[in-house]
Amino acid sequence: MSGFVTVAQLVEELNLELIGSGIGLARTINSEEINRPGLGLAGFLVYYPSDRVQVLGRTELAFLSSIDAMDARERLKRICSFEQTPCIVVTRNQEISDELREEAEQYGVPLLRTRLSTPKFIAQITTFLELHLAPETLVHGVLVDVYGIGILMTGSSGIGKSETALELLKRGHRMVADDAVEIRRISEDTLVGMAPPLLQHLLEIRGLGVLNAMTLFGAGAIRTHKKIEMIIELEAWQDDRSYDRLGLDEDKRRILDVDLTCLIIPVRPGRNLAIIIEVAAMNQRLKRMGYNAARELSEKLMSSMDAHED
């Protein structure tokens, strides 16, 4: 389900300077990896990753200016001729030779330039591409940031997710998305959630309608995106179902191949869910810091049993 990024988006978001007529800006970037075409320019084109963004740093340009102009043009022609190459970026605001400009223009490869040094630019573009090309999914739920912990609240419609989010907002926490959460896997084990652009800052409360959390509660009440650390599933209280009494074991829920801790919280009139979620967030932080109350109690119990036996 990976998307793509157009070169025009890249130019816009990373503030790149466009050299030439702007031909080929609609080309798409489908790979988050970057290539420095040193070997390609040297003439070795086996395994040449032509589908990646090609970055020309000092080394590449120094090499090109060390050989004669005709030869350089031939080598550039080969690099520029791939239709799948999204664009070529020159770093450090280096001077661009006529050969490079003309060959890029002829084959319709966008030629861009950045002020940054090569390593800095590669770091920046990699982060940008990883975020935008990451696998994504849309989940029904509410994403909130409680004491810095990103909590995805799920549960059937009408169970009270938005109402709980509202109370959390009143208590000074932040909302990321209500109802629909776009989730992206930005690295092997990291999920980031955000609101679909149209629904940003909005939440819906039955009886009140659509509300804007930012205008109601201020800029401090919202976040554009947040790493998701746990899932809290709200469900109607069922008498015959057993709920976790200890908290020794963690349930996991899988989203985009990432396992997240999942708590199932039964909902019953008179239970203050916002407080329960606040405490769940704090407890999660404690666990992350290495303290687990349930485990400690269990260990104490075991050692007092051993003491009794002696």
Question: Of the candidates 210, 236, 246, 286, which one interacts with other proteins according to CB under 8 A?
Answer: 246
Residues in contact with other proteins, total (CB under 8 A)?
15
Whose tokens are 């190459």? That residue is 85
Q: Is 20 annotated as a binding residue?
A: no
The one segment of 3-11, 56-64, 172-180, 300-308 that binds other proteins by CB under 8 A: 300-308
Question: Of the candidates 47, 197, 242, 290, which one interacts with other proteins according to CB under 8 A?
Answer: 242
Verify binding: residue 238, other proteins, rule CB under 8 A: no
Based on the residue annotation, tell me whether 179 is a catalytic residue of this protein.
yes
DSSP string for 246-293: S--S-EEEEETTEEEEEEEEEE-TT--HHHHHHHHHHHHHHHHTT--H
The Cα 306–Cα 310 span in angstroms is 7
The Cα 5–Cα 86 span in angstroms is 10
Shortest Cβ distance from residue 269 to other proteins (Å)?
A: 20
- Taking Cα atoms as reference points, which of 228, 185, 220, 229 lies closest to residue 201? 220
Q: Is 161 annotated as a binding residue?
A: yes
Question: Of the candidates 202, 232, 245, 272, which one interacts with other proteins according to CB under 8 A?
Answer: 245
Based on the residue annotation, tell me whether 227 is a catalytic residue of this protein.
no
φ/ψ (deg, to 5) at 32: -85, 0
List the alpha helices (DSSP H) in the chain.
7-13, 38-42, 58-66, 69-80, 98-107, 118-133, 161-170, 213-217, 273-288, 293-309
Q: Is 157 annotated as a binding residue?
A: yes
Residue 28: strand pairing partners: 6
Verify binding: residue 216, other proteins, rule CB under 8 A: no
Based on the residue annotation, tell me whether 245 is a catalytic residue of this protein.
yes
* Residue 53: Cβ within 10 Å count: 25
Verify binding: residue 293, other proteins, rule CB under 8 A: no
Question: Of the candidates 69, 236, 248, 279, which one interacts with other proteins according to CB under 8 A?
Answer: 248
Residues that bind other proteins (CB under 8 A): 240, 242, 245-246, 248, 294, 297-298, 301-302, 304-306, 308-309
Annotated binding site for Mg(2+): 162, 204
Binding site listing: 155-162, 204
List residues forming the annotated binding site for ATP: 155-162
